[in-house]
Amino acid sequence: MWQVYCKELTELLRDRKTLIFVILLPILVFPVLFALMGVVLSSTTHKAMQEVHRYVIVNPEQAPHFAEALFYHKNFQRVESDLTEPAQLIAAIRADEFDLALVIPADFKQQQQAVEQSEWQLIYNQSSQLDFLYQYFNELMRKFTEDLQIASLSQLGVDPDRLASILRPVEVQRIDTADQRENLGEKIGAFIAYVLIPLCLMGASYPAIDMGAGEKERGTLETLLICPVSRTAIVLGKFLTVLTTGLATTLITVISFGGWAAVISSFAGLDVVATVLSSISATDLLLIFLMLLPISAIFASLLLAISIYAKTFKEAQNYMSPLSFVVLLPLVAAILPGVKLNATTAMVPLTNVALAIKELIKGTVDYGLLLMIFISTVVVAGALVAFCVHWFQQEKVLFR
């Protein structure tokens, strides 16, 4: 088994593609990923903040002070329109004639004098995730509403200085019990697992294809089978080689993540990120690696079994493509808001490991659940290794 392992590993190290997938890609993926995310987010946010929104205001004479404040705001540009009905305004916005329509009731002044609540209509496309338009409008409306409240209270003979205590008799001050590490870990922990686990799969994919379908195409599998080595030793040697490449990719990725995140946080002045990273101990990183160990074994077994079954290199690639989607779906579930590690989610494959990594980064992991996840994943990995050994014994599989 070890002779087969050394032989396969030596051949892989001589292959440039293996070096690219196993070593170079994990080292470069995090700085490129961080840089792209930073550039895209910064560019998108800056563009959204600087965007000028064309607006139409109906019955501006009913609220001249608000209309004037809106007119002089740097992010709003008034356009003239004779449309007054909401349906017409919606159609015009969809036709890109303007971006925003504000409908003030025609009897707003009378409602104000009678101290009645008035309903304004703000019509715009709310599909944007960066809704700065409403944020700007809400700031203006808040100031305008406060002025109206003071005027109404004065009209009713109430002291305006007591406005805050009348409108909000109780002010709730929120005190967060979570530390910086827990807050940041909650936001990025699942995304880190979303990157690490697919890299385990990707790091093992090419070597698995090469050692199964690749050997069939080159005609070297028959030569290996007639050697005085049992088939169990051969398949275990190949399995260990695939496992090594997957783990090497994972280990390099973890080190790359820690190193590049520390460098980026120091250069960008992100003290919070630097503080959180410094609080993640070597034990936490070791536990993350141990959680990825049986996952890598599962991937190595599946990929090697698929490669052994495939007739050609291309056929093996076609079989492995759906596996990537199967792996990503449970990881997406771990990113969803409200999904936490508990006795139920600990039984969901891949999702449990992603949530465990998230909890380790947060520093709030339940070691009982962690042990349960590790043992269950090891059991699944052992079963798949046994299946892979049995699969390799079948003549109809090897020589399809």
Using CA atoms, how far residue 332 sits from 22, 190, 252, 337, in Å, is 24, 9, 23, 10
Q: Are residues 243 and 141 in the same domain?
A: no
Q: Are residues 211 and 158 in the same domain?
A: no
Q: Are residues 108 and 28 in the same domain?
A: no
Q: Are residues 28 and 82 in the same domain?
A: no
Q: Are residues 225 and 264 in the same domain?
A: yes
For the segment 20-24, the average pLDDT, to the nearest whole number, is 66
- Indicate the range of 7-11, 118-122, 168-172 predicted with least confidence: 7-11
Q: Are residues 152 and 21 in the same domain?
A: no
Using CA atoms, how far residue 356 sits from 195, 254, 276, 345, in Å, is 14, 15, 17, 10
Contact of 342 with 327, CB cutoff 8 Å: no
For the segment 185-198, the average pLDDT, to the nearest whole number, is 76
Residue 175 has pLDDT above 60, yes or no: yes
Q: Give the residue, 29 or 52, on which the prediction is more confident.
A: 52
Q: Which domain holds residue 91?
A: 52-167
pLDDT at site 178: 59
pLDDT at site 308: 82
Residue 57 has pLDDT above 90, yes or no: yes
pLDDT at site 322: 83
pLDDT at site 97: 92
Residue 41 domain flag: no
Residue 45 domain flag: no
Total structural domains within the chain = 2
Separation of alpha carbons 201 and 295, rounded Å: 9
Residue 8 has pLDDT above 80, yes or no: no
Contact of 222 with 172, CB cutoff 8 Å: no
Residue 122 has pLDDT above 80, yes or no: yes
Give the confidence band of 277 by pLDDT, cuts at 50, 70, 90. low
Residue 39 domain flag: no
Q: Are residues 282 and 133 in the same domain?
A: no
Mean pLDDT across the chain: 79
Give the confidence band of 43 by pLDDT, cuts at 50, 70, 90. confident
Residue 194: CB atoms within 10 A of its CB come to 18
Boundary-marking domain end, from 135, 167, 199 = 167
Q: Give the residue, 227 or 26, on which the prediction is more confident.
A: 227
Give the confidence band of 102 by pLDDT, cuts at 50, 70, 90. very high
pLDDT at site 37: 67
pLDDT at site 12: 67
- Selection from 85-89, 169-173, 312-316, 357-361 with the highest mean pLDDT: 85-89
Give the confidence band of 84 by pLDDT, cuts at 50, 70, 90. confident
Give the confidence band of 31 by pLDDT, cuts at 50, 70, 90. low
Q: Are residues 105 and 126 in the same domain?
A: yes
Q: Are residues 255 and 365 in the same domain?
A: yes
Contact of 164 with 206, CB cutoff 8 Å: no
Residue 42 domain flag: no
pLDDT at site 208: 83
Boundary-marking domain end, from 119, 137, 167 = 167
Which H or E run includes 103?
Answer: strand 100-103
pLDDT at site 49: 79
Q: Are residues 81 and 223 in the same domain?
A: no
pLDDT at site 92: 92
Question: CB within 8 A of 180, min separation 6: which ones?
Answer: 272, 275, 276
For the segment 339-347, the average pLDDT, to the nearest whole number, is 85
Boundary-marking domain end, from 134, 167, 200 = 167
Residue 44 domain flag: no
Separation of alpha carbons 70 and 235, rounded Å: 73
Q: Are residues 248 and 324 in the same domain?
A: yes
For the segment 224-238, the average pLDDT, to the nearest whole number, is 78
Residue 100 domain flag: yes
Write the CATH number for 135.
3.40.190.10
Residue 47 domain flag: no
Q: Give the residue, 319 or 378, on which the prediction is more confident.
A: 378
Residue 238 has pLDDT above 80, yes or no: yes
- Selection from 36-40, 136-140, 243-247 with the highest mean pLDDT: 136-140
Residue 152 has pLDDT above 80, yes or no: no
pLDDT at site 240: 87
Separation of alpha carbons 250 and 247, rounded Å: 5
Q: Are residues 246 and 327 in the same domain?
A: yes
Residue 188: CB atoms within 10 A of its CB come to 17
Residue 46 domain flag: no
